[in-house]
Amino acid sequence: MRKKTSSFFYVLMIALFGTGIYYILQLGKSLQNKSVRELPAENASSLSMFQDALHHNMTAALSVLLLQIVVIVIIVRIFGYLFSKIKQPAVIGEMVAGIVLGPSVLGLFFPSVSHFIFPASSLGNLQFLSQVGLILFMFVIGMELDINVIRKQAREAVIISHASIIIPYTLGMGLALYLYQQFAPGNTSFLAFALFMGIAMSITAFPVLARIIQERGITRTPLGVMALTCAAADDVTAWCILAVLIAIIKAGSSVSALFTIALVVSYVLLMLLVVRPLVKKLYNAYTRKGVISKTMMAIVFMVLLLSAYVTEIIGIHALFGAFMAGVIMPPEMNFRQLIIDKIEDVSMVLLLPLFFVFTGLRTQIGLLNSGTLWLTCGLIILVAIAGKLGGSTMAAKVVGQNWKDSLSIGALMNTRGLMELVVLNIGYDLGILSAEIFAMMVLMALFTTFMTNPVLNIINKFSKS
């Protein structure tokens, strides 16, 4: 009985109010101005009207962005899976997927498809969303750093880490002497170009290195602990150097650079001496029995966003602020792991792939269209390996590591991965790197990351024989 009553009420409601809507519209027509444009005449082609509407909806900014995200996530996951099957970190496959979706492959062989998915007018939206992903990613990297681990092996780790920076940095600046006239953009000073080539040669991908160590099951071995400690110290040092370099390059003069650097130092001291203790007190107030309240999560995100905002305003890039916000979070590992778990999936799975593809859209391997250019690319790769792998190996041996562990540390520190792409994109945005040198450096990042596992396998094989 109740079902019949509810059905009768439903039909009556639709009939009455539907009729009411119809009469309201009829009465409203008599009120409107004669010059008001009516809906298209009924004799117009319904099919053409539908096609026009469909085309408009498909080319709308939001529709294009959603399609891009779907395509990017699917392709990146496929490539990540395929590379994991050949014993390579998934991130290498994701980096390769970015290049495949760019002008080097998709744009070359299927230009109409490339233009449909990645029209030039949409790249601004893609860039901004990828930057959000990077900010979240750098925050996670900062939280994954365990400063206590660095302190326990500070002397050896700092020596190896700083050798793995200063040696390739010097070689990178030397390489700039050869590259500057031919490849630097016309309005770029040698100082800016040389400083950036140095930092691009010096970077180590801490997250990729950590995942390689984890996959090889050596996380708790002396080699694994030392490599992670060196990479962590390398990360902190390299990002601080990069912040200073951006300040110098953006300032335009030595006096302006001093003001910017003073602001950077003040910002770092504020984060360490004021914000860090404050966040710790708030953590104690709003966290009970390992459960993070929504208020505490709001505080975490506000610290992250404000820190990124301040460094962007200072002129050293929002990514450094995100990294610093992660470093100063309360040291309790359970708290950090809970925050990482909440952020990492969105950052790593959904937003970070956008950055790989945006980088791929900028990478035009087709520009390397002569033997001379490929030889130059080979020289860049050779210098990168000699500086990072060679410098780290030499320093590790000096501080007392055996040859096997020294070479293994060198191979691991030579892993550049995603962090290199972040640095290269900053250089490209600042107008320091030309399209040709950008493509060469991206290939260098891929090659040096790809070679890590095979080199470690060779080292293990020969050390057992």
According to the model, what pLDDT value does residue 231 have? 82
Confidence class for position 99, pLDDT limits 50, 70, 90: very high
Residues 6+ apart with CB under 8 A from 287: 293, 296, 335
The Cα–Cα gap between 200 and 216 comes to 27
Rounded Cα distance between 297 and 303, Å, is: 10
- Using the predicted structure, report yes or no on whether residue 132 has a pLDDT greater than 80: yes
pLDDT at 290: 65
Give the pLDDT of residue 151: 64
Structure tokens at 275: 């914000």
> Is residue 439's pLDDT more than 80?
yes
Q: Is the pLDDT of residue 39 over 60?
A: no
Which band of pLDDT confidence, cut at 50, 70 and 90, is reported for residue 149? low
Say what the pLDDT of residue 305 is: 94
**What is the pLDDT at residue 332?**
80
- Side chain identity at 440, as an amino acid letter? M
Please check whether residue 425 is in contact with residue 362, taking contact to mean a CB–CB distance below 8 angstroms.
yes
Q: List Cα–Cα distances, 384 to 49, 214, 394, 449, in angstroms.
A: 58, 25, 15, 11
What band does 247 get if pLDDT is binned at 50, 70 and 90? Answer: confident
Cβ neighbours of residue 344 closer than 8 Å, sequence gap 6 or more = 140
**165 in Cβ contact with 202 (< 8 Å):** yes
How buried is residue 109: exposed, middle or buried, by Cβ count under 10 Å (0-12/13-18/19+)? Answer: exposed
pLDDT the model gives residue 88: 85
φ and ψ at 367, to 5 degrees?
-70, -25
Helix axes 294-314, 254-270, angle to 10 degrees: 170
Per-residue pLDDT at 263 exceeds 90: no
Lowest mean pLDDT segment, chosen from 189-203, 288-302, 349-363? 288-302
**Cα distance between residue 214 and residue 217, in whole Å:** 5
Q: In the predicted model, what is the mean pLDDT of residues 168-191?
A: 92
Q: How much is the mean pLDDT over the chain?
A: 86
**pLDDT given at position 153:** 61
